[in-house]
């Protein structure tokens, strides 16, 4: 990780999506920040983005057989659905989940090695939790929601998942981290979405058979009450320890223009699915 962040000025932006009136605002900011980092050499952006009671669907999820029934299931559970272009399958966001995206310039100037860029976030989270005597394992937890090669787990139970997106010479590496709250319930919401989206004989092996007990929150796994704010502080500390300098990001007029343009496009794409 150090080779990616050392001597890089990382600007922090804490999303307040209510300011834009766009529920998919955090996803739009990811696209804006990719373009900003692509324009600015030796500058990165650390984006913390809280969301209230939301199921963030992947593009693959939009292909389920009965999307309308799946969306209704999400609503009945008290969540709102949105669809993202980053990552493949459904994840849950609420006030106990830390969503974080680190947008960095390509440090090599060559084609990005996806394994190396994923490892940046793996190392960042592992170092942020290094004071706990538990091994953090990177590897797929197949019965979790949004399973992937870079799932992070403790004692066999997943607490975080990673995704990334590349725009020219900028790389966005994202993580959702279950810090506190009822993780089993979150898993059940996603399991119910897939159950409602397919007739029993139609279930596709492209989608996970979600076992809500395959995941847990960090507070339960480490035996200490942690908060989203705690994790933010830990992540910032690790970046500084690895040679980055942190400052605050203030969106420019160009950024806001990008936000409005990209936001309109993303909003229109979701309206196709009735969201």
Question: So which residues are the catalytic ones?
Answer: 146
Q: How far is CA 64 from CA 27, 80, 110, 111, 205, in A?
A: 22, 17, 37, 33, 11
Q: How far apart are CA 75 and CA 189, in angstroms?
A: 10
Backbone angles phi, psi at 10, to 5 degrees: -105, 120
Give ∠ CA 178-9-16 in degrees, rounded to 5.
45
Residue whose pair of structure tokens reads 């009735």 in the numeric block: 274
Quote the tokens at residue 235. 């992540």
Q: How far is CA 13 from CA 48, 101, 162, 249, 251, in A?
A: 6, 10, 19, 5, 9
54 touches 258 (CB < 8 A): no
Q: Give the DSSP letter of residue 150.
A: T
55 touches 97 (CB < 8 A): no
């Amino acid at each position: 990780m150090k080779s990616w962040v050392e001597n890089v000025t990382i600007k922090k932006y804490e999303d307040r999506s209510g300011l834009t009136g766009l529920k998919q605002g955090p996803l739009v900011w990811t696209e804006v920040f990719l373009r900003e980092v692509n324009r600015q050499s030796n500058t990165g952006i650390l984006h913390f983005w809280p969301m209230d009671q939301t199921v963030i669907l992947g593009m693959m999820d939009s292909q389920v057989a009965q999307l309308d029934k799946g969306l209704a299931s999400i609503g009945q559970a008290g969540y709102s659905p949105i669809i993202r272009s980053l990552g493949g399958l459904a994840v849950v966001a609420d006030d106990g989940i830390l969503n974080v995206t680190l947008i960095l310039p390509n440090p090599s100037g060559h084609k990005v090695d996806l394994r190396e860029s994923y490892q940046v976030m793996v190392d960042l989270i592992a170092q942020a939790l290094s004071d706990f005597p538990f091994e953090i394992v990177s590897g797929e937890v197949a019965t979790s929601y949004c399973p992937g090669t870079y799932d992070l787990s403790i004692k066999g139970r997943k607490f975080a998942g990673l995704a990334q997106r590349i725009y020219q010479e900028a790389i966005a590496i994202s993580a959702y981290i279950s810090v506190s709250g009822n993780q089993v319930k979150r898993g059940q919401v996603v399991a119910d979405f897939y159950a409602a989206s397919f007739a029993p004989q139609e279930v596709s092996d492209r989608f996970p058979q979600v076992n809500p007990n395959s995941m847990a929150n960090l507070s339960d796994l480490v035996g200490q009450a942690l908060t989203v704010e705690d994790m933010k502080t830990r992540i910032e500390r690790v970046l500084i320890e690895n040679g980055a300098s942190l400052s605050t990001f203030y969106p420019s007029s160009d950024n806001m223009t990008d936000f409005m343009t990209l936001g309109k496009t993303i909003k229109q794409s979701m309206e196709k699915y009735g969201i």
